[in-house]
């Protein structure tokens, strides 16, 4: 055999050699459940740092297991914060605590918050895209309405939470006040 040439009937050298020493990837381990900060316990007054209600002080009602979020409420009648899920990374836990063991927050879970999406609004948008006249029409969209179930649940929680808040002097005014930093305030030196 001459260098670089093969004889008739001899197989060509393969261009790719499989690497047998590379092992297949193992399946990913299941995700660990989220860890809650020790300062975030039910009844802790928290300051919301992001979102629509940033700067508001709320009462933490409970921690949700699977998602790692926390459930907070204003109470709504005091500062306008409804029952909401909040990521614990976006709250500051203060040293102020109230006893919320008598507040029934058992029905608030991840499913409670995810089932309240407005499906009629998405159906309306899909139907409007099909019809050219409606598509090009300039009309105001309807504001999303709060369901009656949410209103009843909020009123029930407020009725249980307000007497607890009113037992502590000046707590109602503290919750109603907006948290802001002013010139010269150093957040890392504040006592929460």
Domains of the chain as residue ranges with CATH: 44-126+147-177 (2.30.30.30)
pLDDT at 114: 82
Torsion of CA 24, 25, 29, 31, to 10 degrees: -150
pLDDT at 190: 83
pLDDT at 147: 84
User: Could you give the CA distance from residue 109 to residue 69 in angstroms, rounded to a whole number?
Assistant: 10
- Strand residues in 12-124 grouped as ranges (E): 44-48, 57-63, 70-73, 84-86, 91-97
Per-residue pLDDT of the chain in tens (192 residues, 90 and over written 9): 566 677 888 888 777 776 677 777 788 777 776 788 899 999 999 999 999 999 999 999 999 887 889 999 989 999 999 999 999 999 999 999 999 999 888 888 888 888 655 555 555 555 555 566 666 666 666 777 878 888 899 899 999 999 999 999 999 999 999 988 889 988 888 887
């Amino acid at each position: 055999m001459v260098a670089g040439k093969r004889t008739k009937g001899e197989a060509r050298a393969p261009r790719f050699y499989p690497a047998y020493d590379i092992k297949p990837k193992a399946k990913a381990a299941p995700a660990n459940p989220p860890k809650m900060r020790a300062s975030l316990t039910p009844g802790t007054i928290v300051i919301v740092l992001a979102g629509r209600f940033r700067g508001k002080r709320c009462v933490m009602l409970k921690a949700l297991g699977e998602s790692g979020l926390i459930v907070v409420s204003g109470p709504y009648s005091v500062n306008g914060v409804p029952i909401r899920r909040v990521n614990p990374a976006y709250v500051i836990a203060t040293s102020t605590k109230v006893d919320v063991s008598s507040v029934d927050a058992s029905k608030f879970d991840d499913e409670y918050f995810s089932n309240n999406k407005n499906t009629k609004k998405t159906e309306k948008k899909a139907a409007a895209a099909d019809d050219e006249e409606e598509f090009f029409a300039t009309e105001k969209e309807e504001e999303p309405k709060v369901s009656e179930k949410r209103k009843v649940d909020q009123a029930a929680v407020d009725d249980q939470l307000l007497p607890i808040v009113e037992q502590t002097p000046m707590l109602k005014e503290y919750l109603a006040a907006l948290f802001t930093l002013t010139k010269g305030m150093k957040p890392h030196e504040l006592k929460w």
